Amino acid sequence: MRTLLLLLPALILSGQTTPAPKAAATVKTASMTKAPAAPSRDYKESGSPTATVEIDAYTDYECPHCARFFKDFMPQFSADYIQTGKIKFVHRDFPLPMHPHAQLAARFADAAGEVSPSLYDVVVDQIFKTQNTWSVNAPDGRGTGDIDAEVAKVVPPGAMQKIRELVKSDPRIDASVSKDVGMAMNLDHVPSTPTIVVISKGKREVISSIMELPYNSFKKYLDEKIAGQ
């Protein structure tokens, strides 16, 4: 096709006539050579999708240790491994029965991800940052349970309305939480939150004491895992 187009000026100058290609044929050729669309990525995933080491983190939004995990552990971990593409990171929901608002908090975060993947991390951070306002762990013992009000502070009104609609009735939200809970209980046998699972060479190593480990010790361990792939 490209060769034909390059020859057209010369043919016209020499007095020869060549029928112009029909528009339908041009459209058909373009559609045949169009690259397939890349598969959409789960909003709970970050880092490199092709990394040889995957880290799954199970958290409960009403767990104070999980809030500390996101405040004290995740910023440095993200800079060292997620933003550099050294690992694939997956954040998984594991709301515990003892926490009355944890399930609802997970629904808000997952609904935000369904509305826009870019909103997921924003809402996750906001829910953890305001845990002492809405959760049963509030200093005065009277958490509001009003997660909606806290999320609305960081989400545009139009997107917030969509999030509310999903939280109320969309089955994808329950399915996402249920999938993570099923993995926590039946695959990784998660004993507490936060728990991370290091996945490499087909093996899953559960670390439930992540907040008790010095970060540098964990970093050395993970670097060795990555180097050994």
Q: What is the CATH number of domain 45-227?
A: 3.40.30.10
CA atoms of 226 and 87, how far apart (whole Å): 8
Distance of CA 170 to CAs 154, 159, 162, 167, 229, Å?
A: 22, 15, 11, 6, 40
pTM exceeds cut of 0.85: no
Q: How do the domains of the chain map onto residue ranges? A: 45-227
pLDDT tens readout for residues 199-219: 999 999 999 999 999 999 999
Tokens 């020869």, residue located:
16
Residues for the chain: how many in total?
Answer: 229
Cα separation, 52 vs 180, in Å, equals: 21
Structure confidence by residue, pLDDT tens digits, 50-77: 999 999 999 999 999 999 999 999 999 9
End-to-end Cα distance, the chain: 46
pLDDT at 103: 95
Spatial strand order in the sheet of 88-93? 45-47, 88-93, 53-59, 195-200, 203-207
pLDDT tens column, 175-204: 999 999 999 999 999 999 999 999 999 999
